[in-house]
Amino acid sequence: MTQETENQVKSAFSLNVGEDGIGILTMDVPGETMNTLKMEFVAQVGAVLDEIEANPKVKGVVLISGKESSFVAGADITMLAACQSSNDAETISKGGQDIFQRIEDMRIPFVAAIHGPALGGGLELALACHYRICSDSDKTQLGLPEVQLGLLPGSGGTQRLPKLIGIQQAMKMMLTGGAARAKQALKYGIVDEMVPYSVLLKVAKSYALKAKPNRKPKKLSAINAFLERTPMGRNILFKQARKQTLSKTQGNYPAPMRIIDCIETGVSKGLKKGFEVEARHFGNLVMTPESKALRNIFFATTEMKKETGVVGVAPAKIEKVGVLGGGLMGGGIAFVTATKAGLPVRIKDIRPEGIANAIKYSYDLLIKKVKRRFMRKSEMQKQLALLTGSVDYSGFGNTDVVIEAVFEDVGLKQQMVADIEANCKESTIFASNTSSIPIGQIAAKAARPEQVIGLHYFSPVDKMPLAEVIAHEKTSDLTISTTVDLARKQGKTPIVVKDGAGFYVNRILAPYMNEAANVLLAGEPINQIDKALVKFGFPVGPVKLLDEVGIDVGTKIIPILMAQFGERFKSADAFDKVLADDRKGKKNKRGFYNYTGKKPGKEVDESIYSLLGVTPSSKLSHEQIAERCVLLMLNEAAMCLEEDVIRSPRDGDIGAIFGIGFPPFLGGPFRYMDTLGAKHLVERLEFYKGQLGDKYAPAAILKTMAAEGKTFY
């Protein structure tokens, strides 16, 4: 018998009944580091429940995980890929509902003893128990994140959570997919008690000897009682929830509206009807292209976590990191290195104020967590203690990686390389956070070019999940693997890209932004352009994005791209005129949008039109505007794959989604191109080439794929 077959035969659930009559039901999925719920567990749990019911000595049951650091991380979503129809998926939902309802209907109390993540199906399992006790560990978090996969909680979660903690709080958790830490879970009423991990089992056992609870409705303020407990109030509440959700999702994501529907059905027509609607909606959502795209992203990022930068090359150990430059980027890089990777960071700046600002950046982010009680003050102090600084290279001698975040000037960056080679160990890696300068140029005068690499973060560093790791021709495999490992420890999803102007993310973003400017110069109003792309699925429109990142910063890359790729990257004249008028965007409160008055940054600065010599008049539909801008991004992404700038369509999709907010429900540029079909793409590019010139000339790879009927995946 193989190990895999043995694991499948061995049950994930074991029951041990003590002298006190308390059954300890342990969930421990064989061969896995974390517990996930699988379809075959329905029969296994059913068998254990039969055993409990047949044993009159059992007075109560504690459900606990056999894993050290997690309760149940959710359902195993790989089983959804096997579903051929919405009926198949609905059957999975009903199976979960039935077994959890059976737990709730047991004659004796069930207590969930939660340590570590209880997410998705894991929290739904805990909600079916009569009591929930959780540990006060930082690892403990409770949530229903299914919406992030284009799904809804399908095993009773949409019904039990609102009943337990109130409609509004439950709806917020389900619509955002956000998890509650232990302290929040106690405050919301998800758990009955929060205790140190050392006494978790002992306290849970004491609850198992109590009677099943007769829970009273949660106390609410007068206004919330009206909204949640009267037909008129609920009508207002759900109507408003739908309106706000539609405004946020632009109708691109079906799951949030279905979640609201399930909750409303349960509270207005009863739990039985609520369960029916939940199972039906779950079944339908599993088969939607949006959910399939979001699940593909989940699988891709999970896969990427297991990869090293270069196959078969293990990373070197990193014990200390240096950061050059105490600006916003330097401060953000120092923050994620100290707080996520837990590594000591030495910051160098030419001024003491720069170092102070970089450390204050971390302090400001951490003190918010302390004030919200997400973190103890002692933990904050421990993390801040990892940050030190100097105006010279003292303290840099034992750094393993030095990350440079200084101005975009190739001479300055080459000087930084020379300084690090002179002041650090022979093995120290020099990583440049340049957004546009080819790494080969930065390494041109290096004594050890094999240890020079690009490590491009996105702003703000503490929030943006992507990092581009850029290897030039001479970068060693060890340098690549070590840099990828560091980026991952900093909480980033790294993609390895080939050196060249703009690398991957900024290279595909530039033609998209350029075309938005061309559409503006043709007379389309700014708010129409931005609305069109937000409706398409981007988090923010291109003109607004330029204001946010800084018009001077956003356009700096254009000459570098033109030098390597020629006329197709020629920028619109709009940018020169705007910069000549000292408009840098949000940072100097002068840009395409107005940053004065009661709604700063919300309305267009009308004076921009006369500056550009444009009389705004809407001639194009939202679909036409979006198509013109997005086609250029897709075409450039295809060229990047063709030139081996990215290693795979998967990396290209993750890079675009995590780096510039390409609509996740479309799965990324390459999944989206597969949806459209190469033939259709080439036809549309040729159409615009005829109207607007050679910048729309289809990539050779797309023409080949169209002729051969091929897809990227």
Residue 707 pLDDT: 97
Give yes or no for residue 6 having a pLDDT over 70.
no
Specify whether the CB–CB gap between 698 and 681 falls below 8 A: yes
Domains identified in the chain and CATH numbers: 11-287 (3.90.226.10), 321-500 (3.40.50.720), 506-708 (1.10.1040.50)
Q: Known catalytic residue: 468?
A: yes
Mean pLDDT, all residues of the chain: 94
Residue 117 pLDDT: 97
Mean pLDDT on 128-155: 97
pTM: 0.91
Confidence grade of residue 372 (pLDDT, cut at 50, 70, 90) = confident
Q: Which residues pair with 322 in a beta bridge?
A: 346, 402
Give yes or no for residue 2 having a pLDDT over 50.
no
Q: Which two tokens stand for residue 89?
A: 């998926």
Q: In whole angstroms, what is the distance from residue 405 CA to residue 415 CA?
A: 13
How do residues 426-436 score in pLDDT, each as one tens digit?
999 999 999 88
**Where are the strands (E) in 509-619, listed by range?**
593-594, 603-604
Residue 576 pLDDT: 84
Give yes or no for residue 268 having a pLDDT over 90.
yes
Q: In what order do the strands lie in the sheet with 22-27?
A: 13-17, 22-27, 60-65, 110-114, 131-135, 193-195
Q: Report the residue count for the chain.
A: 713
Catalytic residue among 90, 146, 421, 468: 468
- Between helix 505-521 and helix 573-580 the angle, nearest 10°, is 80
How do residues 297-341 score in pLDDT, each as one tens digit?
999 999 998 898 999 999 999 999 999 999 999 999 999 999 999
How do residues 581-610 score in pLDDT, each as one tens digit?
989 988 889 999 999 888 888 999 999 999
Mean pLDDT on 645-657: 97
Residue 566 pLDDT: 87
Q: Provide, rounded to the nearest whole percent, the portion of the chain with pLDDT above 70.
A: 99
Lowest mean pLDDT among 406-410, 525-529, 665-669, 703-707: 406-410
Mean pLDDT on 117-133: 97
Confidence grade of residue 9 (pLDDT, cut at 50, 70, 90) = low
Lowest mean pLDDT among 251-260, 366-375, 450-459: 366-375
Residue 156 pLDDT: 97
Amino acid at 360: K
Residue 540 per-residue DSSP state: S
DSSP per-residue codes, 184-199: HHHHHTSSSEEE-GGG
Mean pLDDT on 216-237: 93
Burial 585-615 (b: 16+ CB within 10 A, else e): bbeeebbbbbbeeeeeeeebbeebbeebebe
Q: Which residue has the higher pLDDT, 653 or 566?
A: 653
Mean pLDDT on 111-116: 98
Confidence grade of residue 7 (pLDDT, cut at 50, 70, 90) = very low
How do residues 87-105 score in pLDDT, each as one tens digit?
999 999 999 999 999 999 9
- Give the DSSP H or E segment for 25: strand 22-27
Q: Which two tokens stand for residue 277?
A: 């609607």
Read off φ and ψ for residue 109, nearest 5 degrees.
-70, 140
Give yes or no for residue 4 having a pLDDT over 50.
no
Residue 435 pLDDT: 87
Mean pLDDT on 430-459: 95
Mean pLDDT on 232-244: 97
How do residues 156-212 score in pLDDT, each as one tens digit?
999 999 999 999 999 999 999 999 999 999 999 999 999 999 999 999 999 999 999
Q: Provide, rounded to the nearest whole percent, the portion of the chain with pLDDT above 90.
A: 87
- Interacting residues of 572 by C-beta distance below 8 A, sequence separation 6+: 514, 517, 518, 520, 521
**CA angle in degrees (0–180, nearest 5) for 587-591-594:** 95
